[in-house]
Amino acid sequence: MGIFEDIKLESQDHPSLTLASPFNILWEYDRGPQEKLKGDVHYALQISIVMQGAAEVVFGDWSHVFQSGELWWTMCWEPHAYRLLFPRNFVMSVNINIDNLGNCGPCSDADWLAPFTVEPQYRYCPSNDAERGEIALVSRKLLHAYNRKIPNWRTHCWLMIHQLILRASERVSAVEQSDANGINAGMSRIQKAVSLVRTSKIPPSLESAARSCSLSVSRFSYLFHSTMGVSYGQFALRVRLTNAANDVRTGIYTLNEIAERHGFCDASSFCHAFRKVYRCTPNEFKARK
């Protein structure tokens, strides 16, 4: 993992994202340069756009500096980190409920997940001033509609979000696109298992998850990894740890109680798994909040 090993992650929760409310928009205006990278992980798909300044972004061993008018893409439960670099920086993040992605009426057959699932270095980023200007224009319109709540603002925002995703999907190279082909179909096949993991305190076993999708274990495992970018076990563990992190944050439960609530053998095994993902102990995580 390189430099990413030393970055502490925060668990982001987006409870407002539902089938009826499939997106939200957050923004950060801050001064830089910031000394440390800030890491986080979340279920929501995320598009982050630099509106002013610049940001260094890290995914595993890959890092890149994004300038004004550029953007980066984050898949579900994909650990990442960033820091702001200029004296004044403004970054807008669009969070999307994956269950609604691509729901734009009868003409919705684009590969909507491709911009999020190809390797980070191949994800779309404007390469010239003209493209940066176009991204900046759409992003400003999106932020204006969201903030001012213009007539039909939800529809305007949803279509502009998909305008950004469609542009990115079409610019994924042919080689990388071939790896991403069929992702939408794959998502429909594994959707029941994804929903079960998200709604259960203790996710179902691999066998039960495969059975819920009427698939063999081997076929389910292949589809899950090719669609989500991680194995079913990794995905389920990240969901469990995110739910457990929320319990840690409340301070209501002991570590033994949290371990039991989320299906860990004991507090020791829970703490070990927690530290591997969040790069800190549960007590350190709680102290940061």
Tokens of 247: 């319990």
**Position 11 confidence tier, pLDDT thresholds 50, 70, 90:** low
Which whole number is the average pLDDT over 50-66?
A: 95
* Mean pLDDT calculated for residue range 11-36: 85
Fold annotation for 183-288: Arc Repressor Mutant, subunit A (1.10.10)
What are the C-alpha distances in Å from 152 to residues 75, 132, 156, 157? Answer: 28, 27, 6, 9
Return mean pLDDT, the chain: 86
Which residue reads 């009868």 in tokens? 106
Question: Among 142, 126, 123, which Cα is nearest to 134's?
Answer: 126
Confidence grade of residue 267 (pLDDT, cut at 50, 70, 90)? very high
Binning pLDDT at 50, 70 and 90, where does residue 276 land?
A: confident
pLDDT of residue 236: 86
Query: Could you tell me the pLDDT band of residue 175, with boundaries at 50, 70 and 90?
Result: very low
pLDDT of residue 155: 96
What is the pLDDT, as a whole number, of residue 1?
44
Judge whether 45 and 207 are in contact, CB under 8 Å.
Answer: no
pLDDT band at 185 (very low <50, low <70, confident <90, very high): low
Task: Among 3.20.20.540, 3.40.50.300, 2.40.50.140, 2.60.120.280, name the CATH number for the domain at 2-180.
Answer: 2.60.120.280
Q: Please compute the mean of the pLDDT values over residues 99-123 and round it to a whole number.
A: 83
Q: What is the model's pLDDT at position 173?
A: 57
Domains 2-180 and 183-288 share a fold: no
pLDDT at position 33 over 70: yes
Domains of the chain, by residue range, sit at 2-180, 183-288
* pLDDT tens-digit series, residues 120-149: 998 999 999 999 999 999 999 999 999 999
The DSSP code for 128 is S
pLDDT tier, 25 (very low <50, low <70, confident <90, very high otherwise) = very high
The Cα–Cα gap between 112 and 103 comes to 10
Most confident of 3-12, 74-83, 277-286: 74-83
